[in-house]
Structure 1
């Protein structure tokens, strides 16, 4: 038997891992890159905090969870809360009860 010929094909280039975002835009104050996600995989908890308006969100994590996943959960939770509690009209600033208009029967 003879020797195998070496392949003339070039090896495939190594895939570069593109880093995912770790800072995001706040849903409430709309500041860019003000929301950070800190994940404690040992405790299984992630904390999301906006450093401008101090909005906070906490979620459970596992070994596959990334910061973008926590941000997406926060968006979903905010949408669900908004659908659940519709905005109400503000109450009148006066604490007095408004009187019903008085009708005089003498003017007839």
Structure 2
């Protein structure tokens, strides 16, 4: 007589390898800190000369900084914003007074 069949062995299934997720794309167009237009500032990075430039196509303002292999457009823009905040540090915003006649 044939013995009762035991449970089958589980076959080795190939584990589905999850594809590595691509990092989300960073913004390349930004709001100008001077004229306020959105998506007007474009950043260009020249790794050969190690210089990065952010410039507004509306008002023409621009900012230059140094660049390296890991520099991204968002880094150049945030450096520009930081430089603007540093330049405005200590500046009081005053409302003009109305002179009574």
TM-score (norm 2): 0.74
Q: Residue 53 of structure 1 aligns with which residue?
A: 59
Residue from 21, 33, 50 that aligns with 1:44: 50
1:12-31 pair list within 5 angstroms: 12-31=18-37
Secondary structure of 1:33 counterpart:
coil
Residue 12 of structure 1 deviates from its aligned partner by 1.4
Is 1:63–2:69 an aligned residue pair? Answer: yes
Q: Residue 10 of structure 1 aligns with which residue?
A: 16
Q: Point out the more displaced range, 30-39 or 11-20.
A: 11-20
Is 1:73–2:79 an aligned residue pair? Answer: yes
What is the count of residue pairs matched by the alignment? 84
Secondary structure of 1:83 counterpart:
coil
Residue 21 of structure 1 deviates from its aligned partner by 1.0
Coordinate RMSD, CA, aligned: 1.9
Runs (4+) of structure 1 moved beyond 6 Å? none
Secondary structure of 2:85 counterpart:
helix
- Distance in 2 of aligned mates of 1:31 and 1:64: 27
Residue from 38, 50, 57 that aligns with 1:32: 38
Unaligned runs of 5+ in 2: 1-10, 95-101
- Distance in 2 of aligned mates of 1:59 and 1:40: 11
